[in-house]
Structure 1
Amino acid sequence: MNETKPSSDRGKIAKYLDTVDQRAADLYKNIGDKSLDQPKLALSYLAALANALEELRVVEEEICRHNEVLQQARQELENERHRYQELFDFAPDGYLVTDIHGKIHDANRAAAELLNVPQKYLSSKVLTNFVPEEQRRVFRSLLLQLRSIDRIQEWEISLLARSKPRFEAAITVVTVKDSKGKVIALRWLIRDITARKQMEAQLHQIQLQNLELIEADRVKAQFIATMSHELRTPLNAILGFSSLLLRHVQRRFEPQQFTMIERIFENGRHLLSLIDDVLDFSKLRSHQLELQLETFDLANLVVTTVEELKPLGAKKNLDLQVHLVQDHILVVNDRNRVRQIIVNLLSNAIKFTDEGQILIEVDLMPRAHLTITVRDTGIGIAEADLTFIFQEFRQANQTMTRSHGGTGLGLAITKALTELIGGNISVESELGQGSTFIVELPCQVQLSTRKKL
């Protein structure tokens, strides 16, 4: 069935009715003027009447069809209104419709829950009554401005619910205009943002605390650096004098006295090593440690460093071995920092190995890189401890390693130094099966490309 506009249907039906009415009037007039004794004339009148009745049937059908269309349109409008009402009532945010003065005409369930007033009782209430007294003047000014600006988006304001604490709300207001452009109503969307505001306040507090922690960390690093320098001066004097006594006046002391002086020297050197670790860690944390690049023979450095540490391993009957991929390996790096990495790894291996051997290997790799690998047959590291083995002030199995001493900074410093010179470090270990530390370094370090801590 072809659909036509209602106005077109009405015009067509009116035309049919006019035609039928005119024919009926003509028939009535003719009947009044003529005698029905003439059969032919009577038959023509009956035919005209039949035509008029047929026209009326057509008009009736058109009216029925038109009514069906109207009924269908009315049902669709009703369904649409019902869907809109459901969306309005069950929307998660509060929706209100008010007049231009803020008097409530309609409200959904969410709005009733926010304001803690039954939905049926919200009608005719003034929205200004739910605004705290100190904000009402601003709120009334807002209502006046809406007539010219048409819309306000996400305006944050406090609202007072009945018999409940005030809450923070974000309000969006849109004007409703008639066909002449006059504002006749206001539509409100109200969203409770109390939780969001609380989160923002907490985030702001956390940011302030972070700034305080950063400042405290800076002050701590400065204090550590100052104290480390202050401690090193008298400690170096103690080491110097005790070393002098050990070298030149050994025959003047009894063996027991000589042993005591030797202990002073060894403990002083150990204390100096701990202070150096703390100072290096402080410099690394504050990004104050600068590299001094030079060209040197890494193979020679490894052999020399191992020779220096062999007496430490000999005290535990450990066999220190070196395996080099070639006799001379020229690199561009910070010699002292590379040596510190090797010393830390070897010292750590010696500390946690009671028997067996320690092997250090140097291999060349593609893309101008090399690896320094330190393997030991020590106590090993549990799988659960591998995740934090390079964290500062942490040692695998704290109870066991207390007997070995140390600050827990050695591996953290090693990792930081390795990254400072553009490399990386990894570990492979199993509890009771020893450990393997692998350091990968570039053969030539460039200050512009080295990693930042």
Structure 2
Amino acid sequence: MWRGTMECPILSRRGDMARPHRPKEAEDSAPRPPSEAHETSGGDHPGERLAAIVNSLDVIIWEFDATELSTTYVSPQIEQMLGYTVDEVYEEPNLWKELLHPDDRERVVDTCLEHTRHGRSHQLEYRMLEAGGEVRWVRDIATYVPCDGEPDRLRCVFIDITERKEAVLRLEENRERLAVAQRIAHVGDWQWDLETDEIEWSDECYRIFGLAPQSMELTYDKFLSLLPEESVPEIEATAVRLLESGDRHAMNQYFVLPTGEPRILHAEIEVMRDEDGTPYKVRGTVQDVTELRRVEALHRRLGRILEHSSTEVLVFDAESLQITRANQASRHNLEYSADELEELSILDVLPSSPRRRFEQRLCEVREEGRDVVRFDTSAKRSDGSKYPVSVQLLYSGLDLEPVFVAIIEDTSTREEVDRLKDAFLGLVSHELRTPLTPLDGLLEVMKREIDADEQPRLRRMVELAHSNTHRLLEVVNNLLDLRRLTSEEGIELERRPCDLREAIDDSIAENQALFFGRSLSYALGLPEEPLCTRVDRRRIVQVLTNLISNAAKFSKPGGRVEINLVRDEGQAEIQVRDYGEGIAEEFQPYVFDKFTQAHTPMERSYQGTGLGLALSRKLVEMHDGDISFETALGEGTTFFVRLPLT
């Protein structure tokens, strides 16, 4: 760079060296150096050589009026770096300011003017815009040049640092991302310089030890002072052993935070050695694994609880249905070893469930989001014998290999109690049915014989007695049917071809009085063509009558019940929908159990025995069909009956 206080040589727009103006007399009388004498005789002018050197540099030489920061000279490299020609710059002397990035412009201009006011040179890094709008990072090395008799100059060298700056920014971004990752994972990195005894910690290392990031300078002794006294000897022995002969080491360390909170830390350590094998640096990571160890301990405790639970627990793969784990109770009850069970499918030990229905239950808990699906079936022992069980299915999709968990309860004792109860109910029902049947018929005759106009009060009393007797007889009949269905006696079905449209019509007719009494309407959706299957028509009408009756009872007065019949992949599906209050989630698993009813205001208006749905499910399953429901609180419930078509 040219420096001076009296003279100010500058570059001309041609790129050669322009001399400062002198009076002619001074020029004539001044002695000429040999170089100038040579120049006048036709040799290379020093300004031309200088211009050639400047033009060969991969930088921009840009000169400004120090007061206005307007261009007085720019080198041709501007076209290569920023995409502007020299002429374009001279036509717009203030172009440099316009090319500054908007976010940098005010800062850069103010800084330049501040330095020039005090006659100081300076260096800046900032962004400029190319002719095409792309951003370039430049380093501006500016030299303040005072000139005698002319405005002072600011002569700048612009170096393109875009690639370096972008690399630095990427490095800073990566460091920030690493810091974020360390903070989230509670992992810090560190290194120990053995020559200087200085230890460098990342910010997360400080946080793990309960300290503010970079709050203290660390040496080996200071680090040991942070640890519990009882653990220091072990740490020192490990360090000596590693430095003498080791390369890598992993260890867990108990630590107490300054707040008194205990933590468990896991460290990975690596020793760096030179070509002679002498250690010169130790580096590694430290991770707070307290929560992980707590989860692992909880997992082990739960595993022991499940292993020794009296309830059978089977874990099986969500795709292959292969058993992957069986607890002690399941091994004992099923009479298999652990290895033998892990070679079986869940369907090998729960064979009483048709595969299609079992897969549907898996779908309910896996894809429909139900927490648990409950059902009764039979489990098969290794010798082929079976025993009754109640199964709860759960799904766990958190592992790399999603699994189902089957919690199996042996219900043999419960079923024996149920058998005795059913026997007692059967006996009582028979004893009740014997007098009720003729009494019901007698009251029916009396109701017809009594003139309502002549004896209205007696007629109402007889109607009330007949209604209650008929209801009691219906309950007794249901009890007897359910007893036969759950006992070895069974019910013999009289299967005949049946158009399900006619069975639905009969069921609606049975409920006409209930529809009329509650001002209900119904919407009927039946196919135009017959939809036939081989069933016991009386029993299917019994099922549908019960479903339609429930829908009517749980509908609001003036409401509507929808009954639809559709064909679905080789099956007939009957849908009965109400728009009542819906079924509460906690009651849904028990809908088809005997003697159960939801406790709602609507239900209290129509007390029942809780046998209807239990009986309906048994009858549908006897027809190789299936019954299920969908419900939403405040929106109502839909029951589905699916029967195979002939």
TM-score, with normalisation over the residues of structure 2? 0.35
Larger fraction in helix: 1
Larger fraction in strand: 2
Structure with the larger RCO, 1 or 2 (CA within 8 Å, 6+ apart): 1
